[in-house]
Structure formats: C-alpha cells, structure tokens
Amino acid sequence: MADKAVSSYMRLFDGVQQYPTLAYLTHTPAEPVLSLCAAHELFSSEDVFPKAFGTLAKDLCRGNLIPKGDIGELAARILLYCPRVLALKRKRDEQEPLRCVRLIDWLEKFANHHINFTHWLVTKAALPEEVTSNFLANLWARGSALQCSHNQESFDYAVVCYIGSVEDDAPFDPTQLTLVYGQVKFKVNPDYQARDRIRPIGLTDRLKRTGEPYLVLLMEFGTETPFSDTNTCVRTGKPAGHSTRLTRSASKQSGNRAVDKQRWTLEMRGRTAETYPVLKELGVAGLFVALLDSFQPLWADALCEETRPCSRFYGPPVQWMVDFVTEKGSGLNQDDVDMEDG
C-alpha cells in the first residue's frame, strides 16, 4: 500500500524503517504542486468529486490503514471542505475555485464572515496562548486551515475567518481575521461536556479587547441521539450570560471564561445527510458513512493476533494463546523426549 501511495497518490518516500518491523516511511507534504493540480481537477465536472470520494472511502481507507482516532478528524476535514465544492458547483461558469465563501449564511451573526481554505496543515505543536495577526494573515493568504496536533488542548481544528470586506477594491485588514474552533468526537454516547471545553486558545486576550463574537463547532459522528431541547441532531447556542462578580476560587478562570458572553456554538450529531445536507447535494452521503465505517476494531484485533502473535507479551497480540495441556491417554507426556538420528 505504501508503494502504491508513492507511485499513484502523491505521497513522498522518506526511507526504510528496520525496527521493530521492516516498512517504508512516507508522508504527504502540505502544499505539493501535484496535489494542488489534483484538487483543481475535482472541479472539472460534476461527477469527479463523488468518484474521487469513492476511491478514498472504498479503496484507500479500507483495511484499517487509518487509526480510529484519526478517522473522525479526516471525515471532519473533508466535510468542512464540501461547502466550497458545492459553492463552485452552483456556479459552473466559474473557471477557478471561488476565492472565499461565506461561513454560515443562515446564522445572522456570522453572515459576513468568510473562509478561504483550500487545504489543511497539520501542526506539530500546540498553538501558543496568543497568535499574531501576521500568523493568521499567512494562513489566509496560503488558503490553509489547521488540523491540530494530538497534544492540542480544547479543540481539534481551527479555521481562519475574515470579518472585513472581500470586495475587489477593499483593502485587506489583518486585524479583521479570527478563528473558528472545532472539536470532533467519534463515540457512541454523546459527550455532554465537550462543547463547554472548547476554548478560544490563541485569541482570548484579543477577544476580550474587541468584544467580537466567535464560533465553536462540535461534530459527534458516533451518535445519532437527538438533542432533547430541539429533538433534532443540530443545535445552535447563543452566548451565555456572564457575571462580572467572581468569587475568589473562580478568579483564576476569569480570563478564559470572560469571553463566554461572545461565544456562539453549533453542535451536530450523526453522520448522515439529515445532519449534513451538503453530502446529499454532492452525491456522497453513502460514501461518507462508508468512510466512517471503514475502521472495524474486531477485524483489526484478529488480524493483529494472527500476524504478530509475539510482538508483545501482553494484551490483544497474545490473548488468543492458551497453556498447552495434553489429553489423558494420548500417549504424550510433558517430559523431554530423546530423539535418535535416523
């Protein structure tokens, strides 16, 4: 599979790993020219995107090549890119991908917010407590969104959003850039605390100064349980009331909680077109479910036990082993047996 990925799917060959098992080392660069050209081809006709999605879900992601912990994040990245594909599909006379698209048309508070990403960058370290306007401007200019490292606190991804005018003659103002924060869950049961744990790391001080609203997204792909107050799998939340009178024990958290009165939330549960209508419009609703179902834990454990029985001396690789016991009357005993040559 690694050989095929390098020869046909634009991954780069890094070298050979000898320990603990012999394997190729490959990676996908963030902004390769070939990948950008391939992305451009997704817009060439209406049926290209569903076919490409099918190749990803049915061929490249099968066999548990992607760990369960990464499947949800991969699905979220693809899903968040779908509105951009749909926006171009509705304007077939356009020759190039749209420069930017609105964040959320139906949420009035963010109707004038625009996003501009065409690809994702995976971070190797957690975001600093305060990010600069220059950092956000670079992400906007490169058309990049951030898939955060596993040690990132509070959220899984962040998308740069521009609040200023996007007209051709309007000057670009880096101070009008902000971030949309998102968290992905892939559990069977709803996580009732996940939404409140998402914090605007990197922009807290700035948000306190400007008072501008910010948006957090929570995607729970593993559960179809509707929200009790809406009886649907989608729920929006307005800023919560915030008291300026703090107790001594609460004063330590006042810096982070002070921006709750500017916080809007959008929570989504499920994986079907009922929750994400864009999947149906692009003709990939079934493929999206297949992508999330591509990880099958029982099958993976069985394969691991059969092919690597002694890679560890505890856990699943050796669970199938039992003590060898001879049956009575079998004529065998457990003493050493001398073997004669010939």
Per residue in 13-27, pLDDT (tens digit) is 777 877 677 777 777
Higher pLDDT, 114 or 319: 114
- Who's near 222: CB < 8 A, 6+ residues apart? 72, 185, 186, 187, 188, 189
- 156 contacts 199 by C-beta, under 8 angstroms: no
Write down the pLDDT at residue 244: 38
Mean of the pLDDT values across residues 270-275? 93
- The band of 293, judged by pLDDT with boundaries at 50, 70 and 90, is confident
The top-scoring range by mean pLDDT among 94-103, 118-127, 263-272 is 263-272
Write down the pLDDT at residue 11: 75
Higher pLDDT, 107 or 93: 107
Write down the pLDDT at residue 274: 93
Write down the pLDDT at residue 171: 92
Torsion, CA 17, CA 18, CA 24, CA 30, rounded to 10: -10
Q: Which of these, 220, 288, 264, 287, lies nearest to 103 by C-alpha position?
A: 264
Write down the pLDDT at residue 328: 53
Number of H helices, E strands in the chain: 12, 11
**Encoded tokens for 98:** 């749209």
Per residue in 76-91, pLDDT (tens digit) is 988 988 887 777 665 5
Write down the pLDDT at residue 314: 54
Write down the pLDDT at residue 100: 77
Q: CA 192, CA 194: separation in Å to the nearest integer?
A: 6
Write down the pLDDT at residue 307: 47
- The band of 246, judged by pLDDT with boundaries at 50, 70 and 90, is very low
- 75 contacts 288 by C-beta, under 8 angstroms: yes
- 245 contacts 209 by C-beta, under 8 angstroms: no
SS3 call for 19:
coil
Q: Which of these, 336, 306, 331, 333, lies nearest to 321 by C-alpha position?
A: 306
Could you give phi then psi for residue 53, rounded to 5 degrees? -65, -40
Write down the pLDDT at residue 191: 92
Per residue in 178-187, pLDDT (tens digit) is 999 999 998 8
Write down the pLDDT at residue 315: 58
Lowest mean pLDDT among 261-265, 287-291, 320-324: 320-324
Per residue in 202-221, pLDDT (tens digit) is 999 999 998 888 999 999 99
Decide: pTM greater than 0.75: no
SS3 call for 8:
helix
